[in-house]
Structure 1
Amino acid sequence: MISECSPFLKGVMLGSTVFALITMLGHIRLGHRNRMHHHEHHHLQAPNKEEVLKMSEAEREELSNSIRVYCIILVTPQDVSLWAAVKETWAKHCDKAEFFSSEYVEVFESVTVNETDTWLMMKQASIYAFNTYKDQYNWFFLAYPTTFAVIENLKYFLLRKDPSQPFYLGHTELSGSHEYVSVDGGVVLSIESMKKFNRLLTVSPSECPEEERGIWRMSEDLLLAHCLRYEGVLAENAEDEEGKNLFNTKTIGMFIKEAITDYPKDIVEGCCSDMAITFSRLTPDEMHVMMYGVYRLRAFGHFFNDALVFLPPNGSDND
C-alpha cells in the first residue's frame, strides 16, 4: 500500500515515525535524569491564615520583606496599548518590572532582545534577568501583557516556599504525559530554577531547543517545560485550600459566565479563588477595571485583619 502512495505522503509517514522515536528516546533520557533530583512534582497550596497567625510579628515581617519579585513582561511594539495598561496598573506592585521587546521603545524604557520569536525572547530575557538581578531578587515572574497579576497574593502564596529550591509554578496543563505551566496564566520561577535554566542555556544549549521550528511546532511554554525538565525541574500547580487554581488563563468575566451555568445557586463560590493571583486574556480597559476593583475600591469603615502587609517598592507610584 505504501508503495502506491505519493512521495510526499511517504515522507510525512516516515517523518512521523522518526519524530515519535526521537520523542520516546527523549522521554527515556529525561526520565533517567529526573531520578537524580528529589524535588518532586505536586500541587502546591497557599498557607492558611491560621498558620500565618501562629508566627511571631517579627517572623512575619522578616518573611514579607524577604520575598522579592522581579517581573519579566514579554511584549512587541504592536502591544503598545496593553503595554501601557500593564505599566499603569499591576506592574507597579512588582519589586521591579521590566518590559522585554523585539524593538526598543523609548517611552516605555524597554529592554531590547533583538528577537521576534517569542521563545527566543523568553530565553534572552531570562539570561538578562538572571545575570543582572540574581543577587537582588529571589523570585521571577514571567507574563504576557494580556495578564493581570495581584503581586501581593503571589507573595503570600510564596511565603513559606524556599527560593533555593527549584520551583516552577503556575497553572499546569497536560501535553502527552508531561505537565507544563501555561504562560498565559503567568510563570513563577525561583532563583534556583532560574540558575538551572540559565546554566542549561549557557553551558548545554544543545539540550534546550533553539527555536520554534519544523512541522511540529512547540509553544514557548512547552519548550520552557522541556528545558526545565531536563534539569529535573517539574511543573507545579498553584492552588488555594479548596483546590481552586490561583493562576488563571481566562478573564474573571469568563469564569463568572461559566459559574452562572455550572453553579447557578452559588456563583461566587463556583467562580474563582479569593486568593487568585492572575487572570488572563484581558484588554487594556479590562486591565484598568481590574485595578479599580482590586486596589482602589474601598468599603468605608471596613478594615481587613490581614496577618501580613506587603509594602510597595520604595519610590513606586503605587495604588
Structure 2
Amino acid sequence: MSKKKINHFIFILGLSLGICLSIIYFSQSTTSIMPRMIPDQLSVRSTPRAAVVKNTINNIVAETINHDIVAKFKGPTVQPIVGTNEALKLEKEVRVLCWIMTSPKTLNWKCDAVKKTWGKRCNKVLYFSSKTDDNFPAIGLNVSEGREHLTEKTMMAFTYIYRNHFNDADWFMKADDDTYVIVENLRYFLSTKNSSLPVYYGHWFKPYIKQGYYSGGAGYVLSKEALRRFGKFSNKSCVKEGKFEDLDFGKCMEALRVKTGSSHDDLGRSRFHYSKPGDMLHRIFPSWYLEYDKYGGKKNTMSDYPVSFHYMTPKAMFTMEYYVYHLKPYGIPSK
C-alpha cells in the first residue's frame, strides 16, 4: 500500500473515532444536565420514543410539565393520572342529575359555591328557588320561602324533574345549598346498584317511619324507578306541604313502596353525612342525633369514599375542593 493511501486510511479512522467519542460525550452530558433542568418533584408516566428521551423525560407530571423541554427532546405522549379513566368511565355509565334547593337570599352566596365546586361534576345540575333567576340560572317554583314550605318545594322540584328531565339521568340527587357532594364517590357507590329498582339512599334516620328515611341536609338519591313512581302516583299518596321535608318525603317513598337501602361500605363505614367532616370524624354528635341515626351513631366511622357532608359554608366548600382534588402528598402511592 502506498504512503498516500496509508495516510488517507489513518485520517478516516481518526475521524470516525472522534465522531463516536462525541456522541458518547453529548449523550452523557444530556443525561446529567436534564435533572437540573426539570424540577425533581415533578413526575408522570411516559412512553418515550427513544432511549435518550426515556432517560431525560421520565417521571414528569402532566399538569406541570415543562413543555418547552419536552418539545426540544421530542417528548412522549402523556398518559392520564391514575384513576382518571375510571372516573370518566363512570361519568358515562352512571348518569346523575343533581338538584340543589336554594333561595334568592343564598343563591349568589351559598349556591354560587356549589356551582363553582362540586355541582359542575354532575351529569346535569339544576338549581331550584322560589324566584326565577335566568342569569344564575335558577328555576323559580310557585312556592313561598321559609322552613314551613320545604316539603312543598321538594315535591314541586321532583315533579318538575320528572316532567322535564326523566330521561336525562339514571339517578336523581337532592341536596341543599350547604351540602358538599363528592360526585365521583357517589357514582362509585351507585355503580353496583340497579336504577330500575324502586330504591333510594342517603344518611339513614329511623324514627317515625317503619323503614326509616334520609337526612335532607346530607342529601338523598333516587333511582329512576323511584322517580317514575313519584311522578305517576305522588299526587294520590304524598303530602304536598309541610316543614319536615326529609320526613315527609320519606313517608312519600314508603307509600310508593320505594325502599330505603344501606349506603355503608363493606366495612360498615358511612358515606352520606348529616354534618361537617370534622364533626363526623371526631364523633361530635348532638343528643338528638344518637336517637335519630339508624345505628345510634355506632357505625359512623367515615368511609374512605365518602359521598356527602352537610352544614358546609362556602369557605368550607372551597377548602374541601382543595383537599379532595388538589392536595397530593409527594412520593406516597395511592392505596
With the shorter chain as reference, the TM-score category is 0.5 to 0.7
CA distance in 1, matches of 2:322, 2:89: 30
Partner SS state of residue 282, structure 2: helix
2:265 maps to 1:237? no
Q: CA deviation at 1:163?
A: 0.7
Q: CA deviation at 1:124?
A: 1.3
Task: Number of aligned residue pairs: give it.
Answer: 232
2:187 maps to 1:162? no
Q: Do the aligned partners of 1:64 and 1:159 also contact (CA within 8 Å) in 2?
A: no
Pick closer, same or farther for the CA change 1:224–1:257 going to 2, 3 Å: same
From 134, 138, 145, the counterpart of 1:106: 134
Q: CA deviation at 1:61?
A: 8.1
From 120, 127, 142, the counterpart of 2:159: 127
Equivalences for residues 66-77 of structure 1 within 5 A: 66-77=93-104
Between Structure 1 and Structure 2, whose CA radius of gyration is higher?
Answer: 2
Partner SS state of residue 258, structure 1: coil
Q: Do the aligned partners of 1:69 and 1:141 also contact (CA within 8 Å) in 2?
A: yes
Equivalent AA in structure 2 for residue 75 of structure 1: T
Q: CA deviation at 1:62?
A: 6.6
Equivalent AA in structure 1 for residue 321 of structure 2: M
CA distance in 2, matches of 1:206, 1:92: 35
TM-score, length-scaled by structure 2: 0.64
Tell me how large the CA RMSD over aligned residues is.
Answer: 2.5
Equivalences for residues 156-305 of structure 1 within 5 A: 156-178=188-210, 179-201=212-234, 205-212=235-242, 219-258=244-283, 271-300=301-330, 304=334
TM-score, length-scaled by structure 1: 0.67
Pick closer, same or farther for the CA change 1:288–1:62 going to 2, 3 Å: closer
Q: Do the aligned partners of 1:166 and 1:192 also contact (CA within 8 Å) in 2?
A: yes
Which residue is equivalent to 1:309? none
CA distance in 1, matches of 2:87, 2:329: 26
Q: Do the aligned partners of 1:237 and 1:245 also contact (CA within 8 Å) in 2?
A: no
Q: CA deviation at 1:244?
A: 1.2
CA distance in 1, matches of 2:232, 2:100: 22
Which residue is equivalent to 1:136? 168
Choose 288-297 or 115-124, whichever is displaced more.
Answer: 115-124
Partner SS state of residue 168, structure 2: coil
Pick closer, same or farther for the CA change 1:240–1:143 going to 2, 3 Å: same
CA distance in 1, matches of 2:323, 2:185: 15
CA distance in 1, matches of 2:129, 2:258: 27
Q: CA deviation at 1:157?
A: 0.4
Equivalent AA in structure 1 for residue 223 of structure 2: S
CA distance in 1, matches of 2:155, 2:92: 29
Q: Do the aligned partners of 1:71 and 1:94 also contact (CA within 8 Å) in 2?
A: yes
CA distance in 1, matches of 2:151, 2:314: 24
Q: CA deviation at 1:277?
A: 0.4
Unaligned stretches of 5+ in structure 1? Answer: 1-57, 213-217, 260-268, 306-319
CA distance in 2, matches of 1:171, 1:250: 10
CA distance in 1, matches of 2:169, 2:204: 24
Pick closer, same or farther for the CA change 1:149–1:62 going to 2, 3 Å: closer
CA distance in 2, matches of 1:256, 1:126: 32
Q: Do the aligned partners of 2:170 and 2:223 also contact (CA within 8 Å) in 1?
A: yes
Which residue is equivalent to 2:116? 88
CA distance in 1, matches of 2:154, 2:176: 11
CA distance in 2, matches of 1:298, 1:114: 45
Q: Do the aligned partners of 1:181 and 1:236 also contact (CA within 8 Å) in 2?
A: no
Percent sequence identity over aligned pairs: 30
Q: CA deviation at 1:65?
A: 2.3
Unaligned stretches of 5+ in structure 2? Answer: 1-84, 285-298
Pick closer, same or farther for the CA change 1:248–1:60 going to 2, 3 Å: closer
Task: For CA contacts below 8 A with separation 6 or more, give which structure has more relative contact order.
Answer: 1
Equivalent AA in structure 1 for residue 240 of structure 2: E
